[in-house]
Amino acid sequence: MKIIIFGTQFTDTHIFLLKKIIEFLTKHNIEILYDALFFDLLVKKKDFEFLNKKNIADSDCTADMAISFGGDGTFLATALKIGSKNIPILGVNAGRLGFLADVSETDIDSDLQAILNGNHRIEERTVLHLEIVQGRKTETFFALNDVSVLKKNIASMISINLNIDGEFVNTYQSDGLIISTPTGSTAYSLSVGGPILTPDSENFILVPVAPHSLAVRPLVIRNTCKVVLKVESRSGNYLVSVDSRSFQVKENAVILIRKADYKIKSIQPQNHSFFNTLRNKLMWGADVRK
C-alpha cells in the first residue's frame, strides 16, 4: 500500500500528531510519499531529518490514498493537486475548524486502523469546472468549494448578469455572487446566508453578496445546469476567487461554470457523519449561557 502525505505550514504543536501518523504507517509497512512542497517544510525541522529524500511525490504519482495534514485550506489544495487521479483523501485536522479535515489527534490511531480494516466509506464530492473566456483566450480552473465573483474596490457595486441553461435569470446589483458546491455550503456561502447541503446533494448554490435588493435570495439549482455570468463594473474589472485563489478579470470576459467531469473522493471513518460534524463544529445545541 502507498500513501501520499500533503500539507502546508503547521505549528510545532502539531509535530507530535504528524509523527504519530508516520509511525503508524511505518509500523504497518505502508510506503509513504511526501508532496514535494510539504517535504521541503519538513526537512527544515530537525525532528524530521530521518525522512527519505527519495520519497517525494510528483504530479504523475499514483497511490492508494492521500492524507491531507492541515486545515480545510490544505484539503482544498490537496484536492487541486489530486484532481482527476481518483485518489481518495483523508483529512487530518492540524488547523482550526476542520469541516473537511475532521480527523482529530485523539482519534488518529483508531481511525487509521479502521480505514486499513476497511471500516470506512468514500464520499464523492462534486467539483466546479470554471472557464473564463476573454477574446480568443480561455482559462480553465477547478474548485471543490466555490467560485466567487466579487467587486474589486469598496466604492461601488458590480452588476452580474446570470443565465442558467441559456435562460436569463437575473441581474444582481451586489458586492458579488458565490456559486457553491455542497462541500462549499459550510464555507463562504454559509457566512452570507446560504443554506447547508449534505455532501451527496446533486445541487449548486448561488448566493449574492450584499445584494442591493432585499427580494434577492439564495438560489439552489441542479448541478447539471450550466451557468453563464457577464459582469459590469465601473472600474472595468473585478475579482474572481476559486477556492480562495483570487485574480483580476476584465469586465468583457464571459464566465462559464458547470459540473466537472470528475469528483473528489473523501475518506470518512465509519464513526464519522456529516451531521455530527455540524453539531460539533457549529456547536448546535450548545448553551452559551453556561
Active site residues: 72
Q: 34, 213, 239, 226: which is closest to 153 by C-alpha?
A: 239
Task: Give the long-range contacts of residues 232-239, CB within 8 A, separation 24 or more.
Answer: 232/158, 232/159, 232/161, 233/151, 233/152, 233/156, 233/158, 233/159, 234/155, 234/156, 235/152, 235/153, 235/156, 237/152, 238/149, 238/150, 238/151, 238/152, 238/158, 239/148, 239/149, 239/150, 239/151, 239/152
Residue whose entry in the numeric block shows the C-alpha cell 453578496:
209
Cα distance between residue 128 and residue 152, in whole Å: 23
Cα distance between residue 50 and residue 11, in whole Å: 19
SS3 call for 85: helix
Q: Are strands 176-180 and 146-150 parallel, antiparallel or unpaired?
A: antiparallel
Query: 74: left (phi > 0), else alpha (psi -120 to 50), else beta?
Result: alpha
Cα distance between residue 18 and residue 5, in whole Å: 10
DSSP-based helix, strand, coil % in the chain, nearest 5: 25, 40, 35
Question: 207 and 191 in contact (C-beta within 8 Å)?
Answer: no
Please report, for the chain, how many H helices and E strands are present, in that order. Answer: 6, 17
